[in-house]
Amino acid sequence: MADQRKVVVVTSLGKKYSGLIDIPNAALRTTDLFNSSNIYWKNPNEKCFENAILMYDASLTFDDSAVYRKFDKIQVKLSEILFFYDDFESIGDEKEKIRATTMAGKTQEKLQRVNIITRVVACSFYDITGNFYGLFKKKCTDNFIPLTDATMTEIYKKQDKWFKKEITLPHKFICIGTSHIESGTIGVQEP
């Protein structure tokens, strides 16, 4: 029997879907699911789009205001997702944290601070900074890049003036859609 997990996906600036997705088991990280070559569907016969997630009890909101519309089920194409996050307060259980620390030691991976600028959509873009472990170039071949201790600012133009809006991320975690990245810079942060 499949489990479900609550996720929030943002498909364009200010447009947010929040709902439940099916997962094959509770130990699977949301990032791994979204980066999988075969996205898990409890019932594959429901697929309309080849590369999409199915959300249950989903709501669509604009600019973090009241719910615009609710859906029993809705399919969201992965290629349209700018970023997503889930309800986990931390990444991984204790066994996974030990495994990650051991692997980072073996591969000499260092904590890197990454700054990413997304493409402009409707006179707005995001400036995102977060921590990253691993080889960034390799991760850029995935659909989504996970960042921890992340901060995010929306930069938008209104009546010929540019404004900034700080975005609060639950648990300071975000996964960014690599197809929406315009530029970035990488640096090493010493502990």
Q: What is the pLDDT of residues 112-162, one digit of tens each?
A: 889 999 998 888 999 999 988 776 666 778 889 989 899 999 999 999 999
**Distance from CA of residue 91 to its chain's centroid?**
13
Using one digit for the tens of pLDDT, what is the confidence trace for 73-86? 999 999 999 999 88
Using one digit for the tens of pLDDT, what is the confidence trace for 53-68? 999 999 999 877 789 8
The two most distant CA atoms of the chain are separated, in Å, by 53
Tell whether the model's pLDDT for residue 111 goes beyond 80. no
d(CA 142, CA 157): 30
With a pLDDT cut of 70, the percent of the chain lying above it is: 83
Note the pTM of the prediction, 2 decimals. 0.81
